[in-house]
Amino acid sequence: MSTKDPRPPKLQRRLASKVARSVIFVALVIGLMMSTIVAYLDLKETNNNFRKTVAQVIKTAHEPAARSAYNVNDDLAGEVANGLMEYKSIISVTILDDLHNTLTSRSRIHEASPHRWIANNGFGGLQSFEVELRTIDDPEVTAGYLQVIADPINVAEEFIQRVALEASVIILQSLIIAGIFSFIFYRLLIGPLQNISHALAATDPDAPLQTQLAVPKKNHGDELYVLAESGNRLLQSISKRIQERDTAESDLRKAAESLEQRIIDRTVELEKQFEAAQAASKAKQEFLASMSHEIRTPMAGVLGLADMLLDDSITPDTREKVEKIKETTQSLLVIINDILDLSKIDSGKLKLENIDYQLRHELNKTIEIVEQSARQKSLKLNIEIEDKIPNNLHGDPTRLRQVLINLLGNAIKFTEKGGVTLSARQLTENQDKAWLVISVTDTGIGIPDNRLKEIFDEFTQADASISRRYEGTGLGLAISKRLVDVMNGSIEVSSEEHKGTIFEIKIPLNKSNKEAAAPVQKNVAAIYETRRNLSILAVDDNPLNLRIISVLMGKYGHHVKQADTGKKAVDILSDPAQDNIDLVLMDIRMPEMSGPEATRIIRDLEGSIAKVPIIALTADVVEDHVNEYLEAGMNAFVAKLINPGVLLEEMNNVMQEIIHEPVTEKEQSA
């Protein structure tokens, strides 16, 4: 490196020239930006003022226009329209009476202008205004309508002229400021920097530089270049250490930023996955609730009409056909209930009971349920219970019975001859852990080895021919598997084709600390007698459901009043003359006002009618929704398809008296 003072840079390469050019350029850019901002704000304000002005002009003409419309006075309407047309931005005025008959109409030509583009894009083009006309004397009555079309072209032209002038002034101001700043920069920065560069250039260091400061190519030949060349001789060691330190800090910072970004990305990804899972679960539940409602509603109509037909005098052949219709519809209901159960289990919303129960009673009751199916196929149905198993256990007998009914039902369905055996034994692993092992063994068609792993999947059977021959959805085993899993147990299957199948479930054996009482069976009688006739309000948006409910209640001597919406039910109960309503049978999903909404309003009414018992009748049987119905103030819930006996018993409960008394077989025969 030369120790001589470098020659002074050329004028165009001097830092002062570069700074001046940069300041002027920045000033122009800022001026243009400020002009754009001012123009935008001016546009918004002008647009608002334009609309406000038109609205004010319309408001001024409102009263005379209303009088002309109210009195159907064409002359007065014409005067009002002419007055409005005096405002140069209004190009069309129409006054209508309350029947939309035109009283007067004024308009002028939509003038052309080179500034039409700003009027259309900046001010929204032609503006239409329509005002209901009401007189001061009769403000509750709509006398007519005032329709006005305004053209912002004049405002747009004024805006263009004003913006051009404002932009010129702002840019000029920016250039003046740029000149002042350039002078200040030269006096405060460039001049002293030139002196420093000359002083450093004259320095004669003892040792040459080993490294050089990096100087951008665009700075070669200017004052910064001179300063850098001189500084290299003085800052060698400092530069080296700073470079090493900066390199280490940069690497550490990049590593930290990379780790932080990875954590953020992963967190965001997990949050999205969680939200997506929640949304999917909610959508699934809502779909199943809607599906249940939409399917159960027509099914309720089918069963209701079938019951009405069976009550009529019909031929035996017709009666058999109607009974088949009922059986088919009830089979469809079983499938729907299976799907809902499967959804509850998969979403983790299935809650098990923890009560004391008698094992032998539950197993015998299960056998009784499937006994008729076995008898129809001439199959032997056996039960074997190991003596050492305690009779009093603790758990969920209802879900255990559901699993066993599924297994026994399948065994009977796929067995043509021989029999089905239900057996129970106790398996003790150690003193602290005991298992209840229940097996269902049949002598049926068996399952191929290559399909054993798939039979617990939803909608799966051994093969297509099985589905065609024996029907079924393939849900029973899937539900049984999940129920056993929820009980912290396991289920296994072994089979040999044409010889039979063995299903074995193993669940924890939890002994009861006390002797369980025999469960009280709440039986629903086939025939009831009515002790007291009720006045019932039936609410349902489906005319067929209303008819079925009315016929059913009328069959037991009750007087039924009908409402096809929740709002009509509220109106009926709000009428003081209707305070004789004893009970409300309320549908849930209805247009205009739902059952829960109507119930909340009824509970807020004054008087004793606010406490009228309300039973929800709905095809939506999702547990969370049922809780919402009860929280809304409903007293009870009966699922569609409606079992008449269940409904009558529930009516007894909410009325807190025996309205319907069961008739025993002995009393019927007497």
**Is 138 a domain residue?**
yes
Range of the domain at 586: 528-669
Q: How many domains does the chain have?
A: 4
Q: Which pLDDT band, with edges at 50, 70 and 90, does 466 fall under?
A: very low
Shared domain for 665 and 570, answered yes or no, is yes
| E strands in 276-418 | 355-358, 380-385, 392-395
**Is 42 a domain residue?**
yes
Handedness of CA 97, 101, 105, 111 (dihedral sign): positive
**Is 218 a domain residue?**
no
Shared domain for 542 and 648, answered yes or no, is yes
Length of the chain equals 670
Shared domain for 358 and 341, answered yes or no, is no
What share of the chain has pLDDT > 70, as a percent?
Answer: 72
Shared domain for 532 and 607, answered yes or no, is yes
Structure tokens belonging to residue 354? 């923890």
- 482 versus 347: the higher-pLDDT residue is 482
Query: What pLDDT, on the 0 to 100 scale, is given for residue 276?
Result: 78
Query: What pLDDT, on the 0 to 100 scale, is given for residue 213?
Result: 45
C-alpha distances in angstroms, 609 versus 292, 562, 633? 32, 17, 13
Q: What CATH number should be reported for the domain holding residue 321? A: 1.10.287.130
Within a 10 A sphere around the Cβ of 505, how many other Cβ atoms? 24
Query: What pLDDT, on the 0 to 100 scale, is given for residue 558?
Result: 92
Query: What pLDDT, on the 0 to 100 scale, is given for residue 223?
Result: 58
Q: Which pLDDT band, with edges at 50, 70 and 90, does 3 fall under?
A: very low
Which of 136, 169, 202 finishes a domain?
Answer: 169
Shared domain for 465 and 596, answered yes or no, is no
Whether the per-residue pLDDT at 650 is higher than 80: the answer is yes
Q: What is the mean pLDDT of residues 35-56?
A: 81
The pTM (predicted TM-score) of the whole model is 0.43
Query: What pLDDT, on the 0 to 100 scale, is given for residue 207?
Result: 40
Whether the per-residue pLDDT at 61 is higher than 90: the answer is no
The pairing of strands 583-587 and 535-539 is parallel
Shared domain for 21 and 153, answered yes or no, is yes
Helix (H/G/I), strand (E/B), else coil: 95: strand
**Is 239 a domain residue?**
no
Query: What pLDDT, on the 0 to 100 scale, is given for residue 575?
Result: 84
**Is 587 a domain residue?**
yes
Q: What CATH number should be reported for the domain holding residue 637? A: 3.40.50.2300
Shared domain for 52 and 84, answered yes or no, is yes
Q: Whose CA is closest to 529, among 660, 617, 337?
A: 660
Q: Whose CA is closest to 500, among 416, 587, 558, 391?
A: 416
Shared domain for 501 and 540, answered yes or no, is no
Low-confidence winner among 180-194, 237-251, 317-331, 409-423 (lowest mean pLDDT): 180-194
Which of 109, 135, 169 finishes a domain?
Answer: 169
Which of 444, 474, 508 finishes a domain?
Answer: 508
Shared domain for 342 and 359, answered yes or no, is no
Q: What is the mean pLDDT of residues 115-133?
A: 80
Collect all residues with Cβ–Cβ distance below 8 Å to 55 and sequence separation of at least 6. 129
- 485 versus 521: the higher-pLDDT residue is 485
**Is 193 a domain residue?**
no
Shared domain for 571 and 611, answered yes or no, is yes
Q: Which pLDDT band, with edges at 50, 70 and 90, does 412 fall under?
A: confident
Q: Which tens digit of pLDDT belongs to each residue from 341-400?
A: 656 566 556 667 788 888 888 888 888 878 888 888 888 888 998 888 888 888 888 888
Q: Which pLDDT band, with edges at 50, 70 and 90, does 601 fall under?
A: very high
**Is 454 a domain residue?**
yes
Q: What CATH number should be reported for the domain holding residue 158? A: 3.30.450.20
Helix (H/G/I), strand (E/B), else coil: 497: coil
Collect all residues with Cβ–Cβ distance below 8 Å to 13 and sequence separation of at least 6. 221, 222
Shared domain for 159 and 48, answered yes or no, is yes
Q: Which tens digit of pLDDT belongs to each residue from 531-590?
A: 999 999 999 988 888 888 888 888 889 999 999 899 999 998 888 776 688 999 998 888
Shared domain for 364 and 484, answered yes or no, is yes
- 514 versus 600: the higher-pLDDT residue is 600
**Is 216 a domain residue?**
no
Q: Which tens digit of pLDDT belongs to each residue from 523-538?
A: 555 688 899 999 999 9
b (16+ CB within 10 A) / e for 225-257? bbbbbbbbbeebeebeeeeeeeeeeeeeeeeee
Query: What pLDDT, on the 0 to 100 scale, is given for residue 405?
Result: 84
Q: Which tens digit of pLDDT belongs to each residue from 215-255?
A: 545 555 655 566 666 666 665 665 566 667 778 888 888 88
Q: Which pLDDT band, with edges at 50, 70 and 90, does 668 fall under?
A: very low
Q: Whose CA is closest to 339, among 375, 294, 285, 297?
A: 285
Q: What is the mean pLDDT of residues 407-422?
A: 88
Query: What pLDDT, on the 0 to 100 scale, is given for residue 488?
Result: 87
Residue listed under structure tokens 């119905």: 629
Whether the per-residue pLDDT at 460 is higher than 70: the answer is no
Q: What CATH number should be reported for the domain holding residue 375? A: 3.30.565.10
